[in-house]
Amino acid sequence: MNPRLWRAILVVLCAALLVQATIPAMPVRAAEPKITFSIGEGVSAEDEVIVREGIALGQAYIDETLAPFPKSKITVNVRHTRDTTSTGAVAFSAGSYIVVFTREPGWKSIAPFDRVHVVVHEYIHSWQRATAGRDSDAPLWLIEGSAEYLSFDAVARDTLVRRQEVIDAQTWAVLNAPEMATLEQLEDRDAYYGETGPVYSLAFLAVTQLARKGGPAAVSQFFEAMGDGDSWQEAFATAFGQDVDSFYASFERARADLIAPRDMPDPFLPIHAVHTESPLDLTPLPETASAGEQVTVIGESDPGATCTMRLRSTESGERLTRTTFADGAGRLFWLVTIPPEFGLGTVRLSANCGGESATGSFTVEP
């Protein structure tokens, strides 16, 4: 597999977009900013759900982990088209709006967890801009690397992918690519986006090392300090407890000692949905949930297996159907924001991958 193509799906560049009529957002967990969705013609129901639930996951992650998102408005545009620039971007963020291109080959070939990661990555960019309070002059490797680090942390916390698999995948990409520039050489926007190797993987590993002690809170502190008027160098020293030159030296030493698996981890391999009779095992469901809360349902099946989940409220009779497919390791999930229409009481779940159904239930409480 070509590492450059594998990571090219995350190229984030601004592009012009004609504004289309918007569709009101589904209920999500209360958080700033106000989100409006604009869903273009031809976008599949599955892709629309991925984007909506990915934004909800990003909102919850920021609420629980980072500095509060300043009050603002964001439009999330989803288009069943390809990027009209030469970059082949899967998605980009321009602060007040986000665009996702669901017809790009990069989007179509990655597993659902990685699609959610892309959506959260772009939402993190909107948070970065709003928190820093101005156009950031921070190094591009740090801006993009922190968006990668935080978005993968969000999907790993929700167990959509395992954290070590993320680290192994990024390390594999870097070590199986031609030699790339140093971080110091990747501060500039043109240099970063012009790099031919898996630069997002390199930036992820750099921020992972930076945040080894302080975690996501340290990354948040960096952007908060910039918002308070510090230069990026001052914010760097405050948040990470070292000056940038010292970090550049320590990272290059660590980079020389990276160890990767022999092969790309299975969840990150290119994958497409297939319709076949496959088994399904579900992990235990949460016992309770609240209306408007996002619930995660995790299962195991055959790689690429298409699987359908149905929820039914025994009190209101409301129903909800969602379809997904398993990643290259056979892991699958559904993210479901509980609609208020479900009301309180028991919700029955039934899911299958073309074979025998797995069942469960949980209770919606106030």
CATH for 281-365 (1.20.1250.20, 1.10.490.10, 2.60.40.10, 3.30.70.100): 2.60.40.10
Q: Please indicate, yes or no, whether the overall pTM of this predicted structure exceeds 0.75.
A: yes
Spatial distance between the Cα atoms of 64 and 76, rounded to a whole number of angstroms: 22
Q: Where in the chain is the domain with CATH 2.60.40.10?
A: 281-365
Residue 104's CB is within 10 A of a number of other CB atoms, namely 21
Residue 276's CB is within 10 A of a number of other CB atoms, namely 13
DSSP character at residue 26: P
DSSP character at residue 283: P
DSSP character at residue 86: T
Helices (H), the chain: 3-8, 45-65, 105-108, 112-132, 140-157, 163-175, 189-194, 199-210, 215-227, 232-240, 244-256
Name, in order, each residue with C-beta under 8 angstroms of 262's C-beta and a sequence gap of 6 or more.
none
Spatial distance between the Cα atoms of 140 and 244, rounded to a whole number of angstroms: 14
Q: Where in the chain is the domain with CATH 1.10.390.10?
A: 3-268
Task: Print pLDDT tens along the chain (366 aa).
Answer: 433 333 343 333 333 322 233 333 333 333 478 999 999 999 999 999 999 999 999 999 999 999 999 888 999 999 999 998 867 899 999 989 999 999 999 999 999 999 999 999 999 999 999 999 866 799 999 999 999 999 999 999 999 999 999 999 999 999 999 889 999 999 999 999 999 999 999 999 999 999 999 999 999 999 999 999 999 999 999 999 999 999 999 999 999 999 999 999 999 999 999 999 999 999 999 999 999 999 999 999 999 999 999 999 999 999 999 999 999 999 999 999 999 999 999 999 999 999 999 999 999 999
Apex 111 CA angle, 327 and 300, nearest 5:
25
Spatial distance between the Cα atoms of 127 and 56, rounded to a whole number of angstroms: 14
Class for the domain spanning 3-268: mainly alpha
- Of 31, 22, 23, 24, give the one whose Cα is nearest residue 294: 31
Residue 209's CB is within 10 A of a number of other CB atoms, namely 17
